[in-house]
């Protein structure tokens, strides 16, 4: 039976065929160097610092804690957005060595017990997720030129990441399915909406993919024969987090990369690898990273997603829900004639980088209002007709 496409990363990217491949020649920088750069920027305008930040590329992961500290030191919203883009682009890298706790690796038997605890947790808790609503704030970044080139000389351009659009949305999780109603907050007008990166499945459904592909794919939890292995400890939300790394081959995968315009799967069930961060006390997933492996000659070079989870109170009970997600796509448009003709390199559409930062807040149970309408009443909520008298 075909597994439903509950986790998809859509990319529909269209540029004029005359454009050459972008260089995106950002300057590498470490987290400590970035902190020193922000600290020495006092007196620098918000816009100028933002431009300097967009010209950098981190070589290691900028943690949420350090991002919060740097954001406080930043002079304004533009530089804070640039810091966010830097942090998101680095989210799939390793933390600086100094930020990884020097805790002894978990023993193999303890690993098995934790993985079994996580399997039990997912099987027990995910089906019990209630219907709820949340606010989703999405900021989109891209390296597509802010303004279209007026010339057609096929010269390469050097474009850095910049903000494309900010959206606010109400997310409803009803009967195990997500419904999103988005509204623009700010649109820089740099790309049509159809070209934007879309991600689905970060609530309960994504856990089903991980449960099927990663955790129960090895029922005996024989780690010596598994593609799942303990990597290291991290500090997360004031406590410890056990990080496991995994690889999922294409024949066992249910991670789908899809073209939103053609409505065809570019790589059905793509192979992928990633990390899963577990709460050692409960087995709950706190951090999940999926990185798609690029098939040969694929027009999609990257299709990656990262989700951070934490406890949310819904109706007096704690549930593990998304706090933040990051999605990255590096893809190019595919001509219908591709494969039939050989194009010169200058005619091949460029790969374009798109990045989504999504924050989830304001969770509450989904409730409906009921109204009793009467034949002779005004139908206002809370009014009812008197009960009928018994007939003799």
Taking only the tens place, the pLDDT of each residue in 39-50 is 998 889 999 999
Q: Is the pLDDT of residue 5 over 70?
A: no
Q: Which residues pair with 312 in a beta bridge?
A: 319
Q: Model-level pTM greater than 0.75?
A: yes
CB neighbours of 259 closer than 8 A, spacing ≥ 6?
A: 10, 11, 12, 265, 266, 334
Distance from C-alpha of 27 to C-alpha of 29, rounded to nearest angstrom: 6
Phi then psi dihedrals of residue 388, to 5 deg: -65, 150
Taking 80 as the threshold, does the pLDDT of residue 373 lie above it? Answer: no
pLDDT digits (tens, 9 = 90+) for 143-184: 876 554 444 444 444 457 888 888 888 888 887 777 777 666
Radius of gyration of the chain (CA): 24
- Of residues 20 and 286, more confidence is placed in 286
Tell me the average pLDDT across 62-73.
Answer: 94
Residue ranges of domains in the chain: 8-24+104-365, 31-95
Per DSSP, helices labelled H in 20-63 are 31-39, 46-54
Residue among 240, 310, 316 nearest 281 (CA): 240
Average pLDDT over every residue of 334-359: 68
User: For residue 316, what pLDDT band results from cuts at 50, 70 and 90?
Assistant: confident
Is it the case that residue 327 has pLDDT exceeding 60? yes
User: 280 exposed, middle or buried (CB, 10 Å; 0-12, 13-18, 19+)?
Assistant: middle
Give me the numbers of helices (H) and strands (E) for the chain, helices first please: 6, 16
């Amino acid at each position: 039976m075909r597994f439903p496409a509950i986790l998809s990363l859509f990319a529909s990217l269209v540029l004029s065929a005359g454009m050459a491949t972008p260089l995106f020649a950002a300057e590498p920088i470490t987290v400590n160097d970035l902190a020193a750069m922000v600290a020495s920027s006092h007196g620098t305008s918000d816009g100028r610092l933002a431009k300097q930040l967009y010209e950098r590329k981190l070589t290691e992961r900028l943690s949420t804690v350090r991002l919060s500290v740097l954001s406080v030191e930043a002079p304004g919203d533009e530089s804070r957005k640039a810091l966010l883009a830097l942090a998101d682009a680095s989210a799939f890298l390793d933390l600086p060595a100094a930020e990884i706790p020097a805790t002894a690796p978990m023993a193999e038997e303890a690993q098995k017990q934790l993985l079994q605890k996580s399997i039990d947790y997912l099987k027990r808790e995910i089906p019990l997720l209630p219907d709820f609503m949340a606010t989703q704030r999405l900021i989109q970044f891209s390296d597509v030129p802010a303004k279209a080139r007026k010339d057609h000389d096929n010269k390469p351009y050097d474009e850095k990441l910049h903000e494309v659009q900010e959206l606010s949305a109400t997310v409803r999780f009803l009967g195990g399915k997500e419904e999103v109603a988005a509204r623009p907050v700010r649109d820089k007008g740099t790309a049509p909406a159809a070209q934007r990166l879309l991600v689905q499945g970060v609530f309960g459904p994504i856990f089903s993919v991980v449960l099927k592909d990663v955790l129960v794919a090895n029922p005996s939890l024989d780690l010596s024969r598994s593609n799942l292995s303990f990597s290291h400890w991290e500090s997360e939300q004031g406590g410890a987090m056990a990080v496991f790394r995994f690889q999922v081959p294409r024949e066992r995968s249910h991670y789908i990369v899809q073209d939103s315009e053609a409505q065809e799967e570019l790589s059905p069930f793509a192979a992928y690898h990633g990390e899963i961060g577990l709460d050692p006390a409960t087995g709950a997933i706190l951090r999940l990273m999926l990185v798609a492996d690029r098939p040969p000659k694929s027009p999609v070079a990257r299709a990656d997603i990262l989700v951070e989870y934490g406890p949310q109170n819904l109706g007096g009970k704690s549930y593990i829900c998304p706090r933040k997600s990051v999605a990255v796509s590096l893809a190019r448009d595919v001509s219908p004639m591709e494969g039939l003709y050989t194009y010169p390199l200058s005619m091949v559409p460029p790969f374009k980088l798109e990045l989504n930062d999504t924050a989830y807040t304001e969770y509450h149970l989904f409730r409906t209002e009921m109204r009793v309408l009467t034949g002779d009443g005004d139908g206002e909520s809370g009014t009812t007709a008197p009960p009928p008298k018994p007939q003799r």
